[in-house]
Amino acid sequence: MDIAAEVARLKREKDAVILAHYYVPPEVQDMADYVGDSFYLARLARTLECSTIVLCGVSFMAESAKMLNPERTVLLPDVTADCPMAHMVNKADVDAIKQRYDDLAVVCYINSTAEIKSWSDVCVTSSNAVKVVRELPQHNILFIPDMHLGHYVSEQVPEKNFILNRGWCPIHHRMIPQEVEELELAHPNARVIAHPECTQEVLQEADFIGSTKQMIDYVAQSDAEEFIVLTVVGVRREMEKMTEGSGKRFYFPRTTPVCVNMAKVTPEKVLACLRDGTGEVGMPTCVEAATTPLERMLELAAR
């Protein structure tokens, strides 16, 4: 069976749109109507004319899409595709810190469950975190769940006091400076570009630090021909697409950064969920409390 053709037929029959994250396998990205980062996908989902959204990514992304699109059916091709970092903070720790400071904002990376968002004052993405945190009136910032992004933001906003939580993305966390240095030796003219979920030691090696989308824009606009890319390897598909015909080359660490959860999303599973309506995402019970920090982010980021 031609899976892509069958998916295209089912999309028309079910009035569905397929959204894919940059980190899912290239063959799934190729089936998608839109490819982007989690924030782009959640926001885009709001503007679509369709009754069903197939979200090719991990569960917190599908949950955000559902919260922002309550009237639409949202399907997740593999319901076990979950982000470990999205759970890496507990309520008791957040409550204890809230008790210690009067002037505190809980800032939550969008890569988190709805429940964790509901404990927060505002959400951020890796591309708008610095701007949003600067806009907040509070001096003390509890940044959850990612300590590396939190540390990166704290360096850009030194006028505020940051309290960091011990959470991390396992894929970015395990990148080590030695592997970056090996790549630099092999490709001395390459620019090093990194996602702020990498450790501080790895970020020190970078010529450019930015969100996945900002990294893609950087390689598309740069005069350089070679890039050492420090994020999940799935992004290669979009980088190659955006620079087609330019001869630009992309190198990733030897311990290939694959997100095992994003990799669970396969063309076969996309087809199955469209055909059978499986993997439907329910509305989280804390939807109101979790949507408020998302809306606040949109408002502060637009200022």
Positions in the binding site for ligand SF4 (CB under 6 A): 23, 58, 83-85, 111, 169-171, 232, 259, 261-262
Q: Which candidate, 26, 64, 54, places its Cα nearest to that of 235?
A: 26
Number of CB atoms found within 10 A of residue 67's CB: 21
Contact 257, 175 (CB under 8 A): yes
Return the number of the residue (151 or 248) whose C-beta is nearest ligand SF4.
Answer: 151
Rounded to a whole number of angstroms, the minimum distance from the CB of residue 25 to ligand SF4 is 13
Return the number of the residue (11 or 148) whose C-beta is nearest ligand SF4.
Answer: 148
Rounded to a whole number of angstroms, the minimum distance from the CB of residue 247 to ligand SF4 is 28
Return the number of the residue (111 or 120) whose C-beta is nearest ligand SF4.
Answer: 111
Site of tokens 């055909």: 275
Rounded to a whole number of angstroms, the minimum distance from the CB of residue 9 to ligand SF4 is 30
Site of tokens 């021909």: 225
Return the number of the residue (104 or 259) whose C-beta is nearest ligand SF4.
Answer: 259
| Cα maximum dimension of the chain | 61
Rounded to a whole number of angstroms, the minimum distance from the CB of residue 23 to ligand SF4 is 6
Element (H, E) at 270: helix 267-276
Rounded to a whole number of angstroms, the minimum distance from the CB of residue 22 to ligand SF4 is 10
Return the number of the residue (232 or 290) whose C-beta is nearest ligand SF4.
Answer: 232
DSSP string of 128-173?
THHHHHHH-S-SEEEEES-HHHHHHHHHH-TTSEEEE-S---HHHH
